[in-house]
Structures are given as C-alpha cells and as structure tokens.
Chains A and B, each alone.
Chain A
C-alpha cells in the first residue's frame, strides 16, 4: 500500500480509540452512578441480582450501543448522500426519509398507540417502528418515481431528486403538523418522537435496526469506488466505466434503508449525518474507502457523547438528544465557515 494510504489507515486507530472511550465513559456516566468497578464486575458476572446489573445490562449498555449504531448509520448514510449528490450540504434526510418516517410514526401514534406487532413468537416489532420505517421507504420511493417521471429527470437527475425530496418533505411535514394540530392531546408524544431520543430503547431496538444498518453500511462501503467515481461527475464516471444509473440507485437505496432504520428506532436526530462525514474528510481525506468507515466511527462517537450529555446534564430529567446534536451543529458550521474562508485559492 502506498505510504499516504498507510498513514491514513493508521489515523483510523485513534478513531476506534475514541469510540471505545466514548462507549466506556457513556456506560459509566448517567443518572445513576455506575463506578468502573461495578461495570467490570457486572461484565464479568452478569446476573440479575442487583439493580446495578439490571441497569447495566438492560438499560445503559443497550442504549449506548444503540446510540453508537444509529450515529454510525446516519454518518455513513450522510457520507453516501454527499458523495452521490456531490454536495457537501447533503444529509441523510435530503430525499425525504426523515419526513416519511415522521409521518409513519405520527400515524402509528394516532391509531395504534402502544400496540405491538408480532412477527415471530419471540420477536415483536412495535407498530411505531414498523410504520416509521415503511413511511420512510415509501416517501423515498415516491421521490424516485417523481424524479423518473419528470421531464428534466434525465438531464439533471440529481437536482430532480433533491427538488422532489423537498416537495415531498414539505407535504409530509404539513400533514404531520396538521395531525398534531387536530389531535392536541398527542402533541407531546409526537413532538417528543420528532426531537429524537434513545430513552426507553433496549436490546430489541438494536436487534431490529442493527442488521439493517450493518448490512446497508457494509454495502455502501463496498460501493466506495463507485462513490469516488461519482464524485467527479456523471460523465467522468461513465467514461471511467461506471453505469451510473444502476450504481446511483443502489447507493441511494442502501443509504435510504440505513437512514430509515436509524430514524425508525430513534426519531429524527439531525446534524450528525451532515457533520460527521465533513469532520472525517478533514482527518482521512475524501476517498470513500476510508471515509465511510471513518464516518461510521466518528458518527458513532459523536452520538454516544451527545446521548450521554442528554441524559446527564439535567439528571434525572433528560433532554431529547436531537437538541444536543443541533447545538453541536452551531460551532461546527461556524468552524466550516472559518476554514472555508481560509481556503481561498
């Protein structure tokens, strides 16, 4: 391997380190004090005996791990969307996945509050999660269809997708607002879901979202070279041998599935899918072979940190994690502004 690539690969190691540190600290800190000793004992001898073990195994660990999964998933999807759309401001929600999920979740809260779907005898998927996932997929499919049917779709496919995404996001957002307006008593529930949270999520959610995130994430990593080629433009990618419509569709589908799974289990947590790839690009460069795993690690770390803050700042009360990530967005964008300003040729 070339020396530069070797250097970059070495740079991944601190990212792994940060993630592990964040996870360990995340398990340690919380509304309830868990000392490192207690954690160590709990890991070695898992039992049901004390409340420490219950909290450790049933509540805190799955929550931290889910935060890492969702953070990683949103970051990878964000990196893929930025690559496909060749736009540094693209995020996982740009073609409507989040608004579709919001509509699905809102409808589920309205009609099915609390009832659970049984898929197998042992595995239950709550209606809320299933509905949010399906909603995300359906809206993105509608966006694809609009883009395919529209006249300029062939000449400016990316622009069409973004515009169709905005149109549908606007529409579904209006529907959600309408439902909130007409059902004032559900306002808090819907709003809390929209803000995003890991509260009350356990191993079940990890088992539901984890495989989808992992699978689509790996697929996107395999698409690194097509993403690199696409980043030079459609025509260049074509002359270098890429059948762009096929690969673009594949990448968008994988990234959408990943986003849908993340949003279905944790609500709409913004800014992370936008920030993490940017920060990773600074450390590891723009090639997707490193960018995608790097974004995954960095995104996971950031989400674990954000969730830890969300549940410790005003303990025992909690802040929705979407608020924390949005606050993290401010210094990030300012930093971007400053660094771009210094980049003038």
Chain B
C-alpha cells in the first residue's frame, strides 16, 4: 500500500510540475539566420541567460528575465504587449498609446529621441531598454555609457517587424509566443493578399497617399506606407520617386490620375471629417476631375496603423485593402473572415 501511494504521489507531483512548466517557451524550430542565436529551452525560466544580436550588430547578453523594461519606440511597445511581456514594462514614451495599459506606465520621453529624460529613465532602474535602430543611434550610445542594457531593432519596414518581434520576444522570455505571432502575421498578410488578388487581374488600383497638402507631400515606395501599398498589390502613383516622404508636383498628380486617395486620420480629427475632407479636396483647383475625387474614393486611415511597423500592421493593411478593393470586402463575396 504505502509504496503504491508513494509512487502515485510522485507521479502526481511530476504531472503537476511538468504542466506548470510546460506553458513556458519551447523552441520548435530555430531560425538559423541569426548566427549567435538562442538556446532552445522548453522552460521559460531556463530560457535565460540568452544572447541576442540586435540591429547594431552587437551581441547582448541577457542574464535573466527582464522585469523592468523600458521601451522608447511605440511600435516596440506594441510588440512587447503582443508577445505577453506587458507586465514586465515599467516605462515608455508619451507616444506609446496602444494598448490602453500603457497609460499606467511611467513616461520617460516625448515622441522624439532628443527628449528622453535620462534621469527618469535611470530612476526606473531598467534592466532592459528597447530602442528603434539607427533613428535612435545617439541615444543608444548615451545609454551604453550609462551601462544600461539595451537592444536596438530597426522599425522602418515590414521585414523589420519580424526581426523586432523575434528579438523582443526572445530577450523577454516569450520566444515561443513571438514565433507564433510572426507566423500569425505572415498568415494574415497572405490571406489579405489572396483575398484581393482576383481583383488585380484587370488593373492594379492606382493610389496616392497624401501626407500633407501645402506643400504636397506623399509617401514614396521606400517608406513603410509605400511598402504596404506595394504589398497589397497596388500601384503608388509616385513609385518613381525614391525619397521616403517627398514633396511632389501637383501637376504630375493630376496627370497620373490616381483611382484612390488615402490620407492619415489624425487623432484630432473625428468621423465627420471624411465628408469635410472630400468636399475640401473637391474644392481644390484641378482636383475636381481626378478619378478618385469624382468617384469619392477617398479614405482616411488611422495614422498609427500604417506608420508603426508592429503587430497591428495587419489591421493597417486590411484597412488599405478595404479602401483599394472594396469589391473584395462586399458582404456577399466569399471570404474567410469578415471585418
């Protein structure tokens, strides 16, 4: 009797221990594109120490799971929450507005790299700081001098999203969730692309993204927005301009006659602004006869969705797709998912 119960208790204990630790990370496939990459572990607690190579080319060793993370880039903040590291965050910038939990975080900077309050940052005693690549290069040097552990990942293009998610998830002890998120994003992007593909057969929609009106500025093909437009299979009417956010000629726009005009929906604007915007564009001399204006194919897209290379890129892409291929999103058309 006694030995049997002992074995039973031992087995029960083993089961309890293994299930509680089984929710940790387990590397099913390690991507070998990162040479100095990660140790595959199945327990999150033994995922550390870990060595991550960031976009500066430096290998940073993370001794243990960071619990006091500061993120200095809104897109990285979103990634942190998406991979489940939200509770490990203690600080971010005033521009990190998604998700709502960011409100509780201490703000150490405004939206530009020069506005970081190093004192506030240091007072938070962070054990890991996430930066946004070359954009915050000087800041990286400053923090390195202060011996604050940091990882810097570029956040300019769609490819950067994958690397950022991977790097952030691994360094915070959520490697598995990170990989799943990457897969999910890839699948969803592919799904959107597939959905709109049939409607590209006759003609790719020609789109103009207006960043600003006076002077007329647009997003070129090298910008993030330009990349999204390309991803969705549309044609940027200014794809021959290789500047990220160039000032462009109004005349050329009229000649090139886009089918769709996209504009950012700023936080201050409200829902009624769409009709105001449409009538304002129609008032603009010379724009009245543009296809986009005549057919009222003018759409406002929330700025954060399409300017942050982060997990919500899918949502942004979807909104662009809905704007460019309305037929693909009609209720009666066959689709895997509704809005």
Contact = CB atoms under 8 A, between A and B. Distances in A.
A316 B252 contact: yes
B252 A181 contact: no
Contact of B251 (A60, A182, A192): A60
Contacts of B248: 316-318
Contact of A192 (B115, B215, B243, B280): B215
A50 B110 CA distance: 48
A288 interface: no
Given A181-B115, A184-B111, A32 B255 contact: yes
Contact of A55 (B110, B216, B255, B268): B255
A54 B110 CA distance: 44
A188 interface: yes
A3 to B, nearest CB: 48
A289 B95 CA distance: 57
Nearest to A55: B251
Contact of B215 (A128, A184, A197, A203): A197
A62 B211 CA distance: 23
Interface in A246-304: none
A189 interface: yes
B286 A200 contact: no
Interface in A56-87: 58-60, 62
Given A30-B249, A181-B115, A200-B215, A58 B285 contact: yes
B58 to A, nearest CB: 27
B238 interface: yes
B285 A203 contact: yes
8 contacts: A31-B249, A62-B285, A113-B268, A192-B212, A192-B217, A200-B216, A316-B249, A318-B247
Quick one: which of B114, B212, B284 has the most chain A CB within 10 A? B212
A42 to B, nearest CB: 13
B115 A59 contact: no
Given A199-B214, A316-B238, A59 B286 contact: yes
Contact of B250 (A185, A188, A189, A200): A200
A201 B243 CA distance: 23
Interface size range of chain A in the complex: 35 or more
B141 interface: no
B247 A54 contact: no
Nearest to B268: A113
Given A192-B217, A197-B247, A201-B214, A316 B241 contact: yes
B251 A32 contact: yes
B336 interface: no
Contacts of B285: 58-59, 62, 202-204
A319 interface: yes
Contacts of A59: 250-251, 254, 285-286
A311 interface: yes
A51 B252 contact: no
Interface of A: 30-32, 48, 51, 54-55, 58-60, 62, 113-114, 116, 128, 181-185, 187-189, 192-193, 197, 199-204, 311, 315-320
Given A113-B266, A202-B285, A317 B251 contact: no
A320 B217 CA distance: 11
Nearest 7 interchain pairs by C-beta: A199-B215, A31-B249, A58-B285, A58-B286, A316-B252, A184-B112, A184-B111
B215 A320 contact: yes
A307 B248 CA distance: 13
B240 interface: yes
Given A51-B289, A58-B285, A185-B111, A200 B252 contact: no
B247 A192 contact: yes
Contact of B112 (A181, A311, A315): A181
A199 B211 CA distance: 14
B291 to A, nearest CB: 11
A187 B245 CA distance: 13
A32 B252 contact: yes
A311 B251 CA distance: 10
A189 B212 contact: yes
B213 interface: yes
A188 B216 contact: no
Contacts of A311: 249
A266 to B, nearest CB: 10
Contacts of B112: 181, 184, 187
Interface in B238-289: 238, 240-241, 243, 245-252, 254-255, 257, 266, 268, 280, 284-286, 289
Given A51-B289, A55-B286, 9 more contacts: A59-B254, A60-B251, A113-B268, A185-B111, A188-B245, A192-B247, A200-B214, A202-B284, A316-B248
Contact of A200 (B213, B240, B246): B213
A188 B110 contact: no
A30 B252 CA distance: 9
Nearest to B238: A316
B211 to A, nearest CB: 7
Contact of B254 (A54, A128, A188, A202): A54
Given A54-B254, A55-B254, A113-B266, A316 B110 contact: no
Interface string B38-57: 00000000000000000000
A315 B252 contact: yes
A317 B243 CA distance: 9
Contacts of B211: 188
A202 B114 CA distance: 37
B212 to A, nearest CB: 5
Contact of A317 (B213, B247, B286): B247
B252 A184 contact: no
B250 A317 contact: no
